[in-house]
Amino acid sequence: LALVTSSLTWMMDLALSMTQTGQHFHTKICADDVQRHKPAPDAYLLALERLQLTRQAAVVIEDSQTGIAAAKAAKLPVIAIRHDFNGRHDFSAADQVIDSLTDTDAVLELIESLLAGK
């Protein structure tokens, strides 16, 4: 599991500390890890490299239009998640759009279907 963010490392570290979620990620990619930022694919390609995964073994969950563009530029399937701050974003390039991650069974089923190429 990777976290790929356009934030700087100190901002990501602060957010992960506040939410106590940092231990769940096998790698973390921040804006200062790559020269070209989203919508360039570089951050996602670096995540694949660090995790030693192929594109066929990865699914992106994104909450921004530029993040979706970056994932698509990396040729990765994307699930877009809506929230209060991205209501005007165009998520039409995403493979699927969801409103919440709370139904984990449904999210995992969606991820599995994207990995299977459905």
Q: pLDDT tens string for the chain (118 positions)?
A: 999 999 999 999 999 999 999 999 999 999 999 999 999 999 999 999 999 999 999 999 999 999 999 999 999 999 999 999 998 999 999 999 999 999 999 999 999 999 998 6
Contact 61, 34 (CB under 8 A): no
Shortest CA distance to 48 belongs to which of 17, 70, 79, 23?
Answer: 70
- We report the CATH number of the domain holding residue 37 as 3.40.50.1000
For the entire predicted model, the pTM comes to 0.93
Domain range holding 78?
2-115
Tokens of 103: 């139904």
Q: Is the CB of residue 54 less than 8 Å from the CB of residue 74?
A: no
Could you tell me the end-to-end alpha-carbon distance of the chain, in angstroms, rounded to an integer?
22
The tally of domains found in the chain comes to 1
